[in-house]
Structure 1
Amino acid sequence: MLYAGLLTAVIILSGCEMNWNTLLTSGEQQATQAVKVEMDKLNQALLTATSQGDKAAIERLLAEGADIDATDSRGRTSAMIAVHSAQLDIFNLLVERGANINIRDNNLDNPLLFASAAGQLAFVKASIAAGADTTITNRFGGTALIPAADRGHVEIVKELLTTSDVNIDHVNRLGWTALLEAVILGDGGKKHQEIVKLLIEHKANVNLADHDGVTPLGHAKRHGYKEMIEMLTQAGGK
């Protein structure tokens, strides 16, 4: 009888312990959820403050624990929003506070990639100065140099070639380098001529062909771009 009573007591106590642990777990879950809700509010407020250019609010929210690299529904961090809204001072502030400028959004753009394609030289300079990773690629598999070259952004091409470690001969998923895109997607005008000149001066491989085996010179001839044909021929193009 004594043994049976002790066994019953152990079972009852064990049951109480299990219920107590369950209550603790439930309480912890509620506390965790409450913290998450508050963090989400802080992060959303930070993203809003960034879009509005409210420096004081940004500083306050970061001090309160907002995640500087939190993203919006488009996958944009505050740093990326600053680039989209052309707020260089806000971008620099976020960089100073430790923002990760290499994070890509849902469109596979980050500050350096977007700014290079959009012709935003100041943001390109700021991103390079902040140590942006030039090996990160966009949705076409290209580095920042490639869209800058095909869109005729001479100063950005020059900045990337002279102040960063970008790979001048990187090949994107289309099979094109910056030099190929400058010829294929360019208009053959002064800006694209200058870009071809810059790429040649910085030792781009003038004979690196596309997936079809066509070289930059071959494409220049197809388009009838006389100035480019001359430059590429003098550089050893075939």
Structure 2
Amino acid sequence: MKPWNLVFALAAALACATPAQAQVPPTAAETTAYQGLHAAAARGDMPALAKLIAARADVNARDGYGRTPLHVATFARQADAIRALAQAGADLNALENDRYDAVTIAAVADDEATLRLLLQLGASAKQVTSRYDGTALIAAAHLGHDGVVRQLIAAGAPLDHVNNLHWTALIESIVLGNGGPRHQATLQALLQAGASYALTDRQGNTPLQLARQRGYGAMVQMLQAAGAVK
């Protein structure tokens, strides 16, 4: 194997652990052991949540993994709890121990409804998150969550952010995707929004070259239609 191919393979294997496997949702045991706002957020127990908020419980309290009640409510898709916590002053952009925020948690889960709510409440789509110095947009592009990608683009997510693997969202939609319809739709959304098709990976490969290497004909056509020539 050529050296650059080995580097690429190792980087791809590492990145395949992100972002889905890198996120750590509360386990069943943790959820059972939760007390206070974390417990109410996990269950969507609105009377308990309201009582605790009225008693000035810390809405940004952390569990053993650095998750706030908002993180827990996002993992559990508890929309009413998310709304109540936000109205009580919870930090919508807090990062847990692996540097994930609620927006990225919802993006990885392909949870468009929760993502929409978080963005409406004022959460940012622009944060640098995860141990890979990525963004919610990169995470969603990796997974082919095209609806999430469109939401994040509309919310001002940085189109050309480069993570510490030297990949953009557009590049990840190719190198970590399967070339199927959802990854194609993701690539198309990024191209239409103006994401760069000239930025390269660490080895100097352009998105067009990467799509050709992987045999993703539809993606090659999209990139060429957008103006990519090499």
**TM-score class, shorter:** 0.7 to 0.9
Could you tell me which residue of structure 2 aligns to residue 149 of structure 1? Answer: 141
Gaps of at least 5 residues in structure 2 are: 1-33
How far apart are residue 93 of structure 1 and its match? 1.5
How far apart are residue 133 of structure 1 and its match? 2.4
Larger relative contact order, structure 1 or 2 (CA cutoff 8 Å, min sep 6)? 2
Q: Does 1:206 align with 2:197?
A: yes
Please give the residue correspondences for 1:135-214 in structure 2 after superposition, counting only pairs within 5 Å: 135-136=126-127, 137-162=129-154, 164-214=155-205
Secondary structure (helix, strand or coil) at the match of 1:157 reads helix
Looking at structure 1, the residues matched to 51 and 172 of structure 2 have their Cα atoms a distance apart, in angstroms, of 45
Looking at structure 1, the residues matched to 181 and 226 of structure 2 have their Cα atoms a distance apart, in angstroms, of 18
TM-score, length of structure 2 as denominator length: 0.81
Could you tell me which residue of structure 2 aligns to residue 218 of structure 1? Answer: 209
Question: Are the counterparts in 2 of residues 179 and 216 from structure 1 also a CA contact under 8 Å?
Answer: yes
Looking at structure 1, the residues matched to 206 and 183 of structure 2 have their Cα atoms a distance apart, in angstroms, of 17
Please give the residue correspondences for 1:69-80 in structure 2 after superposition, counting only pairs within 5 Å: 69-80=60-71
Looking at structure 1, the residues matched to 117 and 45 of structure 2 have their Cα atoms a distance apart, in angstroms, of 20
1:126-184 alpha-carbon deviations (Å, 9 max, x no partner): 1211222223222211111011011011110111112x111101111100000000000
How far apart are residue 52 of structure 1 and its match? 2.3
The one-letter code of the counterpart of 2:171 is L
Could you tell me which residue of structure 2 aligns to residue 92 of structure 1? Answer: 83
Q: How well do the aligned residues superpose, as a CA RMSD in angstroms?
A: 1.3
Looking at structure 2, the residues matched to 122 and 91 of structure 1 have their Cα atoms a distance apart, in angstroms, of 12
Could you tell me which residue of structure 1 aligns to residue 102 of structure 2? Answer: 111
Dislocated runs of 4+, deviation >4 Å: none
The alignment of Structure 1 onto Structure 2 pairs a total of residues equal to: 195
TM-score, length of structure 1 as denominator length: 0.79
The one-letter code of the counterpart of 1:132 is A
Q: Which has the higher helix share?
A: 1
Q: Does 1:124 align with 2:108?
A: no
The one-letter code of the counterpart of 1:143 is T
How far apart are residue 122 of structure 1 and its match? 1.1
Question: Are the counterparts in 2 of residues 135 and 166 from structure 1 also a CA contact under 8 Å?
Answer: yes
Question: Are the counterparts in 2 of residues 111 and 123 from structure 1 also a CA contact under 8 Å?
Answer: no
Indicate which of 69, 72, 79 corresponds to 1:81. Answer: 72
1:21-66 alpha-carbon deviations (Å, 9 max, x no partner): xxxxxxxxxxxxxxxxxxxxxx942222222221111111111121
The one-letter code of the counterpart of 2:84 is L
228-237 vs 133-142, greater mean Cα deviation: 133-142
Could you tell me which residue of structure 2 aligns to residue 34 of structure 1? Answer: none
192-201 vs 133-142, greater mean Cα deviation: 133-142
Looking at structure 2, the residues matched to 165 and 125 of structure 1 have their Cα atoms a distance apart, in angstroms, of 13
Looking at structure 1, the residues matched to 111 and 173 of structure 2 have their Cα atoms a distance apart, in angstroms, of 18
Gaps of at least 5 residues in structure 1 are: 1-42
Looking at structure 2, the residues matched to 93 and 165 of structure 1 have their Cα atoms a distance apart, in angstroms, of 25
Secondary structure (helix, strand or coil) at the match of 1:161 reads helix
